[in-house]
């Protein structure tokens, strides 16, 4: 009896964990569908959408630009050093542009914006939940799904491709600046190689990833903020959980899209 | 007798092991002002939230003009809610919007149209709760607690809903302001024909506002009667509450 109990307990815990995980994924999926439906059906709030596009897009530019610039430069340096072993230093422009556009641009921009935006969305909605503002809204003939959730989902999905485009350009320029300034590359030749190796498929997949990440990071913020409870501690929990969930979603979908598009 | 505006039967709600509402039966007639009293934490606010569909009751029925509200979803729930206006106990003002956008929120449904007209209307409603026009352009965070409460009251009545819920409308107000609010609530019912449920711990306010009083105790309506019967109810619970005595059948320590 005692031995059976001892053996079973971890199994039961594992099963409970797996079930809880599945239930969480199911709740998130239902939340996503409800949000998408609210975004596709009236009433629409264009003013709220523009406001969110500004908050999510415009104010993320500095952090996204900075990340891309430094990572692009560091990447070029590493490829150069690594390439020297096979006398393949000349691959720097081609490998840099492919790595940035296909992977680093969308992933880094997604993670940086998630750190800023998912947490902010979760904190704002959770505070509204705790102070009963969400309850008050439904008694004032307004659906929080249309007024709060839909504009955030749409704004984030629209703005991330633009941010990633900017990140890609600045990332490549970071690599260019370091290669020309420190590694002795010829500027015109570097850019010509970059252009030759960059394919339209790369750009399309980069922007598709960006849109998916944008949706995911707003979804994570809305989900944890909207469902929060339990006072100030609840607001803190919602914020942390939102960022963690956003990171996991972004990395998972990145792998899925990469394997789907480039693995075939 | 005609169909009551609200008919509540066997309403139950538990949070975890704590049975907060344990079979509430309550009728509210058209154009009646009901005051609900009861100890702190007895479920008065939960009762109003159940009626509004904000909290889902475990059991029981809530009928609005004969239509069942429990279990409504989506469009139907939103349509039913359009009959109600509610002043939340904590105010629940939208802190991202100026006061006048708060007050006219139900009319614009959060949209930005009709700026000037809405602003004028907000100033008008704010005057009714004794607030100056300049308050309209402030943010909720710039107001005192009592001012926030009055703005929330203005927001609840601005769209002229037929049924009004006031959760402690005079808590945190000075006696003179409180009397203005009592008169305003009374006027919504007498002059505008609204039906009102007011939760209050303030007996002076209760006497001013109420046609009828109901007392919640142990999850049920323990006593109800016309406001004139409040002083000779013959019920020790009501007596203790009305006279605010620590000694009596209601223990001062509340179960957690
Ligand atoms: N969302 C919730 N989750 C868990 N418990 C809740 C929730 N809302 C209310 N309760 C519990 O239900 C009980 C009744 O709460 P309610 O707010 O209705 O009290 P009240 O009668 O309005 O008290 P007061 O006069 O102090 O406002 C309390 O014990 C409270 O802890
Ligand atoms: Mg209460």
Q: pLDDT, tens digit, for every residue of B32-50?
A: 999 999 989 999 999 999 9
Long-range contact set of residues A252-255: C-beta below 8 Å, sequence gap at least 24: A253/A209, A253/A212, A253/A213, A253/A216, A254/A103, A254/A106, A254/A107, A254/A110, A254/A209, A254/A213
B1 plus B34 within the same structural domain: yes
The count of CB pairs under 8 A between chains A and B is: 62
Q: Note whether residue B254 is domain-resident.
A: yes
The answer, yes or no, to whether residue A2 has pLDDT greater than 70, is no
Q: Note whether residue B43 is domain-resident.
A: yes
| Closest ligand 1 atom number to CA of residue B201 | 25
B137 plus B147 within the same structural domain: yes
B61 plus B112 within the same structural domain: no
Tally of domains within chain B = 2
Give tens-digit pLDDT for B235-245. 888 888 888 88
The answer, yes or no, to whether residue A70 has pLDDT greater than 60, is yes
B50 plus B117 within the same structural domain: no
Ligand 1 pocket mutation pick from B14, B46, B168 by most atoms within 8 angstroms of CB: B46
Instruction: Name which of A45, A131, A139 is nearest B84 (Cβ-Cβ).
Output: A139
B31 plus B143 within the same structural domain: no
- Taking residues A130-143, report their average pLDDT: 94
Q: Note whether residue B89 is domain-resident.
A: no
Domain of B46: which CATH number?
3.40.50.300
pTM of the complete model: 0.91
SS3 B12: strand
Say what the pLDDT of residue B105 is.
Answer: 94
Q: How many CA atoms lie within 13 A of B30 on its CB side?
A: 8
| Domain closes at, from B110, B145, B160 | B160
Say what the pLDDT of residue B1 is.
Answer: 53
| Domain closes at, from B133, B160, B187 | B160
Q: How confident is the model at residue A7 (pLDDT cuts 50, 70, 90)?
A: confident
The answer, yes or no, to whether residue A4 has pLDDT greater than 90, is no
**Domains in chain A: boundaries:** 50-261
Q: How far is CA A143 from CA A120, A137, B163, in A?
A: 21, 7, 20
Say what the pLDDT of residue A158 is.
Answer: 97
Say what the pLDDT of residue A1 is.
Answer: 52
Say what the pLDDT of residue A153 is.
Answer: 98
The answer, yes or no, to whether residue A208 has pLDDT greater than 60, is yes
B250 plus B178 within the same structural domain: yes
Say what the pLDDT of residue A245 is.
Answer: 95
Distance B40 CA to ligand 1 centre (A): 8
Does ligand 1 lie within 6 Å of residue B20's CB atom? yes
Q: Note whether residue B207 is domain-resident.
A: yes
| Domain closes at, from B135, B160, B185 | B160
- Ligand 2 ion: Cβ-proximal residues, 5 Å cutoff: B 45, 89
Beta-sheet pairing, B163-167 with B195-199: parallel
B26 plus B52 within the same structural domain: yes
Q: Note whether residue B91 is domain-resident.
A: no
- Taking residues A58-75, report their average pLDDT: 95
Which ranges of chain B have pLDDT less than 70? 1, 252-256
Please give the residue range of the domain that contains residue B228.
1-83+161-256
SS3 B220: strand
Degrees (nearest 5) of the Cα angle B197, B199, B202?
130
């Amino acid at each position: 009896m005692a031995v059976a109990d001892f053996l079973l307990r971890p199994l039961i815990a594992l099963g409970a964990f797996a079930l809880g995980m599945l239930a969480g994924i199911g709740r998130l999926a239902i939340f996503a569908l409800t949000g998408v439906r609210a975004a596709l059906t009236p009433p629409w709030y264009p003013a709220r959408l523009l406001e969110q596009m500004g908050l999510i897009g415009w104010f993320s530019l500095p952090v996204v630009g900075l990340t891309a610039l430094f990572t692009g430069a560091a990447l070029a340096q590493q490829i150069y050093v690594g390439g020297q072993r096979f006398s393949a230093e000349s691959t720097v422009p081609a490998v840099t542009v492919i790595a940035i556009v296909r992977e680093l641009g969308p992933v880094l921009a997604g993670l940086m914006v998630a750190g800023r935006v998912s947490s902010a969305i979760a904190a704002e909605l959770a505070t509204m939940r705790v102070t009963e503002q969400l309850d008050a809204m439904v008694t004032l003939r307004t659906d929080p799904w249309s007024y709060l959730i839909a504009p955030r989902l749409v704004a984030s999905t629209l703005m991330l491709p633009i941010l990633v485009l900017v990140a890609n350009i600045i990332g490549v320029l970071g690599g260019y600046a370091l290669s020309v300034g420190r590694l002795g590359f010829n500027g015109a030749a570097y850019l010509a190689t970059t252009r030759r190796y960059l394919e339209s498929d790369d750009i399309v997949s980069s922007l598709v990833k960006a849109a998916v990440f944008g949706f995911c990071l707003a979804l994570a913020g809305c989900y944890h903020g909207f469902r929060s409870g339990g006072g100030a501690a609840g607001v803190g929990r919602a914020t942390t959980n939102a960022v963690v969930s956003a990171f996991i979603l972004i990395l998972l979908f990145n792998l899925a899209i990469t394997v789907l598009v480039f693995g075939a | 007798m005609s169909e009551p505006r609200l008919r509540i039967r066997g309403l139950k709600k538990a949070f975890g092991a704590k049975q907060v509402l344990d079979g509430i039966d309550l009728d509210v007639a058209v154009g009646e002002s009901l005051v609900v009293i009861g100890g702190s934490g007895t479920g008065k606010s939960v009762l109003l939230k159940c009626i509004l569909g904000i909290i889902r009751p475990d059991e029981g029925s809530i009928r609005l003009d004969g239509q069942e509200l429990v279990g409504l979803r989506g469009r139907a729930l939103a349509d039913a809610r359009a009959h109600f206006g509610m002043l939340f106990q904590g105010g629940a003002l939208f802190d991202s919007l100026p006061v006048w956008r708060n007050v006219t929120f139900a009319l614009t449904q959060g949209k930005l149209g009709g700026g000037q007209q809405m602003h004028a209307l907000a100033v008008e409603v704010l005057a009714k709760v004794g607030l100056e026009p300049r308050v309209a352009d402030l943010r909720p965070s710039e107001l005192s607690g009592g001012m926030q409460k009055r703005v929330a009251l203005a927001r609840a009545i601005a769209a002229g809903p037929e049924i009004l819920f006031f959760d402690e409308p005079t808590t945190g107000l000075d006696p003179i302001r409180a009397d203005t609010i009592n008169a305003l609530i009374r006027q919504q019912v007498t002059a505008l024909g609204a039906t009102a449920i007011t939760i209050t711990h303030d007996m002076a306010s209760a006497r001013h506002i109420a046609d009828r009083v109901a007392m919640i105790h142990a999850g049920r309506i323990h006593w109800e009667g016309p406001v004139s019967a409040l002083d000779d109810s013959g019920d020790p619970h009501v007596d203790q509450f009305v006279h605010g005595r620590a000694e009596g059948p209601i223990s001062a320590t509340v179960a957690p």
